[in-house]
Structure 1
Amino acid sequence: MGAAPSIPTDSSRTVQVIGAGFSRTGTVSMQMALEILLKGPVLHGGTQFITREDAYCKTWLSAYHAGEACDQDAVLKHLLELYPDAKVVLVKRDPVSWWRSADELRGQIALWWLRLVMWPVPGWRWLPYLMDEFAAGMNELKRRPRGDGTGLLTVEEAALGPHALENYYHRVRASVPKDQLLEMELGDGWEPLCTFLGAPVPNQPFPRANDAAASAETAKSVLALVAQVWVGILGALGGLVYLGTRVWHGRHF
């Protein structure tokens, strides 16, 4: 996470760009870049899922100009069926550093009490379920045939690791026509993305977000919000117990 949720504004516009980058590859930065180039809101899957009100989930993809962090290639295929003219941007990252980040995230969210603690907080209550889907996606990466079509994965290859990201890249390439696909890294800057979209290069640095520091700050703010909610809940329950006790004593003594 690490970005503010984007709000749709013009329902007459359709999806122009599909971000196919896998989680933890710089999808928030790409969302911010696309918002600048397209001059409109861009949906980022994780951010929209947990930082808006519950009812908002029902309006996903309404009036958005692009979508980012739509990880799985199965979803990508469906989106291309719905928006056959959309261009696809695959933001890539070094597989080793990606795996270090993704594996750390898996460990952080694999906590049995997370669902209970998050339950009272609108939007954020869905975080454990989102992480379940992330974990399922990670496991799905190791159950698939090789993305390059050279056969099934070996036992060593099926173990989760940096190679899982490369296998995902192969499957994206197999799903998207070459003239509709751009592969780039955040370090490439504006030039390849602007050329691909036919947009002028902005007079500002390429956005960089969702690094370790941003994620840590987001985690702190979430924990503070959860603590406030639970203090309110426990305070209200304590007040009810106190009033109930006073009433009971008043009737029996």
Structure 2
Amino acid sequence: MANIRNLPWGEKWILIAILAALPFLAVRLLYSILADFEDNNTFNIINGNATVQLCMAVIEEFIITIFFLATGLAAPSLKSTISFGLALERLLDGPAYHSGQAIVMREEAHLKNWISIAQQTPYKNASDKAFVKHKLREQLRGYVAMTDSPPIQFVQELMEIYPHAKVICTVRDPDDWWRSMEPVIRNAKMPFFRFVFYWLPALRYFVTCYKAKENGRYRELYIQDGNNIFVRETYDYHMRYLKRVVPEEKLHSFSVEDGWEPLCKLLHKPVPDEPFPRANDAATVESSFKSMVLKGLLRWAQVFYGGIWLAFNRALLPVHANTPHLIQPIIHRIQSRVPVNTRSQTPIRHLQTLSL
């Protein structure tokens, strides 16, 4: 440290610049690696219709529950999910809930609530179920539509909360569903993201939330014949679950390819005089997720840089016994600009006090 302090100022600033650049170079390298992973289909966390989904729509005094498995489309995308959500918002005149958006946009407590819900399953007693139903009401308050996991694993509880619900299911080829779903599940469990999102509110619990669901309701519903929770047969298991908990007269089907008419007929709404929403936001959502990853890496860079600065500033800058050395040049500059006959120690002491 003493040797570094004795270096010429030019060499000191070169060393500082190198130390400052290191974390940002590391972030750039990691982000490039992530881009390569994506090209190899190992980083498709957001993979559109790869997930089974549930929509809930509130109409006046009752809830219509709309459930659909993936989209029935051949190409993995969010087109069906987003389109269906936009259609519900248009017909029901209110916001649609999407768990992916909620993780990013809602407060940290919202994601923690999903974790606490998942941790209560399988139920050990009646109070566990009562807790879950209370939290479900709390989580969905204010929305007219809801999509995506984890709510789809709580259809039975939602039907008990909203007994007038209807369930609409669009069926997709199970093999196609699994080809889309497999990389999503594989990447959602990567510990890497627990590290990346550590400094970001809400997102820091991303992996924890998935693990809680996996160890709770996922395992309860989908572990059969010794499988590994999510397998090709999970699609069939979930369909059986729906048929078991949803009365036959409340189970319906819908495809976004059919447009407004069947959906409006089901919801008893007039057909809007406008095209059915045809959103395809998969690229946008994936881009947003990559931006969040980059934000997490940059936050780590800030932490790293701050630590480096604190560790080396005493070694790189001259130390004065009575004044914090980081503001000493500022104090000298102020002193040099104050006329000699009016100069006093008061402003300097004030600065020293503020710096402590």
Alignment correspondent of 1:89: 168
1:91 is displaced (CA, Å) by 3.6
Q: Is the 2:59–2:144 contact (alpha carbons within 8 Å) kept by the matching residues of 1? A: no
1:158/1:60 CA distance change after superposition, 3 Å: closer
After superposition, what is the alpha-carbon deviation per residue over 1:38-91, rounded to whole angstroms, capped at 9, x for unaligned? 110122233213432314556622222232225566511111111112332334
Match of 1:43 among 97, 101, 110: 97
Q: Partner letter of residue 143 of structure 1?
A: I
> For structure 2, which runs of at least 5 residues remain unmatched after alignment?
1-45, 49-57, 73-79, 114-137, 322-356
State the distance in 2 between where 1:242 and 1:216 align.
39
Alignment correspondent of 2:246: 176
Instruction: Provide the secondary structure at the position in 1 that maps to 2:164.
Output: coil
TM-score, normalised relative to structure 1: 0.73
Match of 1:201 among 268, 271, 280: 271
Match of 2:67 among 8, 20, 33: 20
State the distance in 2 between where 1:55 and 1:112 align.
21
Q: Does 1:231 align with 2:231?
A: no
Alignment correspondent of 1:150: none
Match of 1:108 among 164, 187, 210: 187
Instruction: Provide the secondary structure at the position in 2 that maps to 1:20.
Output: strand
Residues 236-251 of structure 1: pairs in structure 2 closer than 5 A: 236-243=306-313, 245=315
State the distance in 1 between where 2:248 and 2:179 align.
30
State the distance in 2 between where 1:129 and 1:19 align.
27
Instruction: Provide the secondary structure at the position in 2 that maps to 1:81.
Output: helix
After superposition, what is the alpha-carbon deviation per residue over 1:119-172, rounded to whole angstroms, capped at 9, x for unaligned? 11122222212332564565555425xxxxxxxx5x6x8885333212212221
Instruction: Provide the secondary structure at the position in 1 that maps to 2:140.
Output: coil
State the distance in 2 between where 1:64 and 1:28 align.
15
Alignment correspondent of 1:76: 155
State the distance in 1 between where 2:61 and 2:109 align.
22
Q: Is the 1:17–1:89 contact (alpha carbons within 8 Å) kept by the matching residues of 2? A: no
1:123/1:15 CA distance change after superposition, 3 Å: farther
TM-score, normalised relative to structure 2: 0.55
Q: Is the 1:77–1:175 contact (alpha carbons within 8 Å) kept by the matching residues of 2? A: yes
> For structure 1, which runs of at least 5 residues remain unmatched after alignment?
4-10, 145-152
State the distance in 2 between where 1:12 and 1:216 align.
32
State the distance in 1 between where 2:204 and 2:91 align.
32
Q: Is the 1:37–1:199 contact (alpha carbons within 8 Å) kept by the matching residues of 2? A: yes
Instruction: Provide the secondary structure at the position in 1 that maps to 2:253.
Output: strand
Instruction: Provide the secondary structure at the position in 1 that maps to 2:276.
Output: coil
The structure whose Rg is larger is: 2
1:54/1:23 CA distance change after superposition, 3 Å: farther
Match of 2:235 among 165, 172, 177: 165
Percent identity for Structure 1 against Structure 2: 24
Q: Is the 1:17–1:67 contact (alpha carbons within 8 Å) kept by the matching residues of 2? A: no
State the distance in 1 between where 2:141 and 2:151 align.
20
State the distance in 2 between where 1:214 and 1:235 align.
31
1:55/1:91 CA distance change after superposition, 3 Å: same
State the distance in 2 between where 1:48 and 1:243 align.
41
Q: Is the 1:141–1:168 contact (alpha carbons within 8 Å) kept by the matching residues of 2? A: yes
State the distance in 2 between where 1:245 and 1:12 align.
67
1:159/1:49 CA distance change after superposition, 3 Å: closer
Q: Partner letter of residue 276 of structure 2?
A: P
